[in-house]
Amino acid sequence: MVIFASKNYLLFSFGFLIVTLGIYFWRFEKAYHNSREVVFIAIICALAVVGRIIFAALPAVKPELFILIMGAIVSGPETGFLMGTIIALTSNMYFGQGVWTPWQMFGLGVIGLISGLMMNKNVPTWLLVVWGFASGFLLGWIMDIYYIIGFVNPITVKSIVASVVASFYFDFVHALFTGVLLLVVGKRWIKLFNNYKKKYDLFRQ
């Protein structure tokens, strides 16, 4: 496939991000926003990126999903998707860019979007935990699709199952770590972010 044969992975990633930003800011112009919202987005993305780098020695133990989910619940689905794409691209400035970057951007963006649908809802802790656990596998499965399309030949039921099984341990640990964080401090972070949101009148719907 042309995209996978190309070496311009970073250019493709930036193109994907530019389209995302373009759509977001097109909608941004049509709604009320203020500079503090941009600061909030930057803080969430920075926390997620730093968290991913700090835990770099433990490949499956990363807090970026937890931070993204919390930020998206407070800011909404569109901003959640935007934050997910930025987190993936900027953190890969440290880990390295490649053909996997757009897939990570899409995967984290989707998780941010779905998380944002919980905005302004009193989400019970058990649902947060279930979603956090599921999001770890969702991201893993999206990356499995990238791997299967790009590197598995021939693509058969057996090779697909083998690829998914091979990544199961890492997906499980990532999912479990995210779920545990949401169980232990999820509600506290939501309260903290919501207090900030109310104080500065952010993300009015």
Domain ranges (residues) in the chain = 9-200
Place of tokens 């791997």: 147
CA distance 99 to 156: 22
Cα–Cα nearest to 44, from 91, 99, 93: 91
Mean pLDDT of 129-156: 89
Mean pLDDT of the chain: 85
Mean pLDDT of 68-87: 91
Q: Give 5's pLDDT tier (boundaries 50, 70, 90).
A: very low
Q: Give 2's pLDDT tier (boundaries 50, 70, 90).
A: very low
Find the largest Cα–Cα distance for the chain.
56
Q: What are phi and psi of 63, to 5 degrees?
A: -90, 5
- From the options 1.10.1760.20, 1.10.540.10, 3.40.30.10, 3.40.50.300, give the CATH code of 9-200: 1.10.1760.20
Look at residue 35 in the predicted model and tell me its pLDDT.
79
pLDDT for residue 29 is more than 70:
no
Mean pLDDT of 42-57: 89
CA distance 172 to 138: 11
